[in-house]
A and B are shown apart, each in its own frame.
Chain A
Amino acid sequence: MSLEILGISVLWTFLFGYVMLGSIDFGAGFFNAYSILTGKDHILSKVIQRYLSPVWEVTNVFFVFFFVGIVGFFPKTAFYFGTVLLVPGSIALILMAIRGSYYAFESYGSKGHKGYAFIYGVAGLLIPASLSVVLAIAQGGFVSIEDGSPVLDYMGLFTSPLSWSIVVLALVAVLYISSVFLTWYADKAEDKEATELMRKYALIWAVPLIIAASGIIYELRFHNEAFFNSIMNLWWMFAISFILWGLTVWFIWKRKNYSATVWMLVGQFAFAFYAYGIAHYPHLLYPHLTIHEGFTNPAMAISLVIAFVLGLALLIPSIYLLLKLFLFDKDYIQGIKKKE
């Protein structure tokens, strides 16, 4: 495997991690706010709070990892994406700042402050919408080069059905991923009421998810034919993803084996996400930048890879400890205090 493929695979994996963890996180924040509005917070808030508390900063780091890593491995992305993303990127940053701080303000400072919970719930839902625009830009057609600098066609982007389909998919995916995950989490906490409510949300968002995803592929056909064709060549990956989606829904419908369901959910999104990424290869930004042109020098690439491996050696045990204490510790999830 060449270094640039290794680099982009690592980065894509981190982005996948961010998409999954972020979706759970943002969706949970939204359901929390929604439950407060509809007076159902006594059912949901406890379970959601217990999950969210220790992990949100970790989620955020996945995102930082991705954008620092991509500038490291592919410095030219800073030039192309940096210039065109000024406005959408800044909006996403502002939303993330509001979301992160108000989450902290509510959970460490003013517990149960409804205004704060509402702010971070809504901001969280808008983040994936604003970030997903990058995918629309990357598949081409909205960036032209004027006087040697890339320029973004805001009107084109804003009026394109494709970019709106991507935004809709991002929103629906957030709600679907987090409701499936929280169904499992609530079930593990042996909280019947919360499990049932989250199960209902998961079933509600399952069908819109598939419609939105198919909509994007349909739109791509008119927008970027080469990309559409390479997606079609990977039809089998999308088919596996679709089957996993069907199984997830079926298990949730039957109220069976929620932990297997979560793994199928991860599998479903992994297949779709990697298929999308592979189809995008070798382009970072259609048609201006490929991973081969944009790649850094070998010395930097090798040192980044070494740093990455050493970093993982440090991080994986730490993350394992975190998960063990908070995600797989039944007493913690159920809110039982104990001494070790």
Chain B
Amino acid sequence: MLFDDPVFASRMLTMLTLSFHIIYATVGVGIPLMIMIAQWIGIKRNDEHYILMARRWARGFVVTVAVGVVTGTIIGLQLSLLWPNFMELAGNIIALPLFMEVFAFFFEAIFLGIYLYTGDRFKNPKKHFLLLIPVAIGGGMSAVFITMVNSFMNAPQGFDIVDGMFTNANPILAMFNLAAPTKISHVLATAYMTSAFILASIAAFKLLKGSNHAYHKKALYMTMKIGLVFAIAAALIGDFSAKYLAEYQPEKLAAAEWHFETERGAPLLFLGILDEDQEPKYAIQVPYALSILSFGSPTAEVIGLNDFPEEERPPLEIHYYFDLMVTIGMFMIVISFIYWFGARRKYPFVQSNWFRWILVLGGPLSMVAIEAGWWLAEVGRQPWILKGIMTVSEGATSSNHVGLMFILFAILYFILGVGTIVVLRKIFINNPIEKELETISSKQGGGED
């Protein structure tokens, strides 16, 4: 399959690259905000711990940025290498946000470089803080622009088709397509949520491993609180996304929910399996919930998958991606709320080992939810690469070497993934917070460095 079908191989290679890149991209968008908040609190409260938090996070962040940059370059070019027909067509309409994304990223890269190498050059820490603002804005805007391109693939607009040719191109209308608002806000909120929970995982892990330092407790409390806020935001926006889908891409929602017959008062199916007749079995049914999710009313009519021609139905596996994403999202809201509430009330279980292990799991779980969400988004758009206009097989390359490239890139990502872990561990194991605080106090009054 991989070696004799360029379409399948191109899909697999794109999936591989995106699944790897999204880890670094998510962190790349989210962490600058966390660094900013920590540094701001540090300056406000004149608390060295938070300033150090910002610096230590930034030190690890650059390593992930580097891998994010190179994998981002890869996916940027792979779009043309693997989907030349699609890019030729789409380039006419949606090249603008792609182009602007580069500017946003450029902006972020410049200021991140300056921030990192000027920690010791400003007497006034507020000046150094100001450098983080363009970093966070640049990261956020990159996500906005690139998500616009993805939403365009789901809801293409801003052109007319006359005799199979695009005319009357309107790049601005294409950018602000119907899928964009929910998608962009969902991407941003989940990036902030996931980054916060990953940093929380690290703090919880340190506490579990015997360090009882106030630094880690402050980090944990702060990141869990931020995570809670964005997890709730992500769920609310997710609800809007479902309503968008119900209205404009009903086949995607129907496939994700295994909703076959158009009906009023549709129930929501959770998990389960499909039998030979494509009938859902062993699923948990929540009456009326799909109608509520889709239109905010228990009696609303939800279009079923059987209303669509067979060749236009997305694969039914996306049901599991949807369930995985939503379950983890809900779980994280509950956990972070319990933590926050428990920590305020000083309940002892918050400091217990078993609860901290759950917090450690939170970061990786959130990342799994991000992956599941993107698989849902991309597989759920099948068979289209540009909904209603071009299918994936029409968009793919005709080259016979994609299978081999898949193997090469798989090896590359393995090396980069392992390298990231090895290097990050090395940075922090050789320089734990206790040691860094000691060096600072021994320098007494020597300023920041």
**Chain A interface residues toward B at CB < 8 A:** 53-55, 57-58, 60-61, 63-65, 67-69, 71-73, 75-87, 89-91, 93-94, 96-98, 100-105, 108-110, 147, 149, 296-297, 299-300, 303-304, 307-308, 311, 314-315, 318-319, 321-322, 325-326, 337-340
- The answer to whether A300 and B402 have CB atoms under 8 Å apart is no
- The answer to whether A57 and B405 have CB atoms under 8 Å apart is no
- The answer to whether A322 and B91 have CB atoms under 8 Å apart is no
Interface extent on B, as a size class? Answer: 35 or more
- The answer to whether A300 and B93 have CB atoms under 8 Å apart is yes
In the complex, the chain A residue whose C-beta lies closest to that of B449 is A337
Q: Shortest beta-carbon distance, A212 to chain B, in Å?
A: 27
When chains A and B are docked, how far (Å) is the Cα of A68 from the Cα of B109?
17
Task: Choose one: A60, A76, A85, A304; the contact of B96 (CB below 8 Å).
Answer: A304
- The answer to whether B110 and A307 have CB atoms under 8 Å apart is no
Q: Shortest beta-carbon distance, A321 to chain B, in Å?
A: 7
- The answer to whether B113 and A58 have CB atoms under 8 Å apart is yes
The A-contacting residues of B in range 420-435, CB under 8 angstroms, are: 420, 422-424, 426-427
- The answer to whether A340 and B121 have CB atoms under 8 Å apart is yes
Interface residue B364 (Cβ < 8 Å from any Cβ of A): no
List 12 other contacts, CB 8 Å, given A79-B87, A84-B399.
A54-B116, A67-B77, A68-B98, A68-B101, A72-B96, A75-B90, A78-B84, A82-B82, A86-B399, A100-B70, A299-B170, A304-B99
- The answer to whether A296 and B91 have CB atoms under 8 Å apart is yes
What does the 1/0 interface line of B264-306 toward A look like (CB < 8 Å)? 0000000000000000000000000000000000000000000
Interface residue B209 (Cβ < 8 Å from any Cβ of A): no
Q: Which 6 A-B pairs have the closest CB atoms?
A: A75-B91, A104-B66, A82-B84, A72-B95, A109-B423, A78-B87
Task: Choose one: A67, A110, A300, A322; the contact of B423 (CB below 8 Å).
Answer: A110
- The answer to whether A100 and B69 have CB atoms under 8 Å apart is yes
Name the B residues within 8 Å of A85 (CB-CB): 81
Q: Shortest beta-carbon distance, A133 to chain B, in Å?
A: 14
Name the A residues within 8 Å of B67 (CB-CB): 100-101, 104
When chains A and B are docked, how far (Å) is the Cα of A154 from the Cα of B169?
37
Task: Choose one: B77, B106, B112, B117; the contact of A93 (CB below 8 Å).
Answer: B77
What does the 1/0 interface line of B88-112 toward A look like (CB < 8 Å)? 1111110110111111011101111
**Chain B interface residues toward A at CB < 8 A:** 59, 62-63, 65-67, 69-74, 76-78, 80-85, 87-93, 95-96, 98-103, 105-107, 109-114, 116-118, 120-123, 127, 134, 166-172, 397-399, 401-402, 405, 408-409, 412, 415-416, 419-420, 422-424, 426-427, 447, 449
When chains A and B are docked, how far (Å) is the Cα of A71 from the Cα of B78?
12
Name the A residues within 8 Å of B70 (CB-CB): 60, 96-97, 100-101
In the complex, the chain A residue whose C-beta lies closest to that of B411 is A94
Name the B residues within 8 Å of A87 (CB-CB): 399, 401, 405
Name the A residues within 8 Å of B59 (CB-CB): 108
- The answer to whether B84 and A83 have CB atoms under 8 Å apart is yes
- The answer to whether B63 and A105 have CB atoms under 8 Å apart is yes
- The answer to whether B91 and A71 have CB atoms under 8 Å apart is yes
A sample of 17 inter-chain contacts (CB < 8 A) reads A53-B113, A54-B113, A58-B109, A64-B72, A71-B87, A82-B87, A97-B74, A101-B67, A299-B170, A303-B96, A303-B172, A311-B106, A318-B110, A318-B134, A337-B449, A339-B120, A340-B122
Q: A315-B103, A318-B110, A339-B123 are in contact. Are A94 and B412 (CB under 8 A)?
A: yes
- The answer to whether B91 and A72 have CB atoms under 8 Å apart is yes
In the complex, the chain B residue whose C-beta lies closest to that of A69 is B99
- The answer to whether B80 and A78 have CB atoms under 8 Å apart is yes
Name the B residues within 8 Å of A338 (CB-CB): 121
- The answer to whether A79 and B96 have CB atoms under 8 Å apart is no
When chains A and B are docked, how far (Å) is the Cα of A93 from the Cα of B71?
9
Name the A residues within 8 Å of B101 (CB-CB): 68
Name the A residues within 8 Å of B116 (CB-CB): 54
- The answer to whether B117 and A53 have CB atoms under 8 Å apart is yes
- The answer to whether B69 and A57 have CB atoms under 8 Å apart is yes
Task: Choose one: B73, B110, B121, B172; the contact of A322 (CB below 8 Å).
Answer: B110
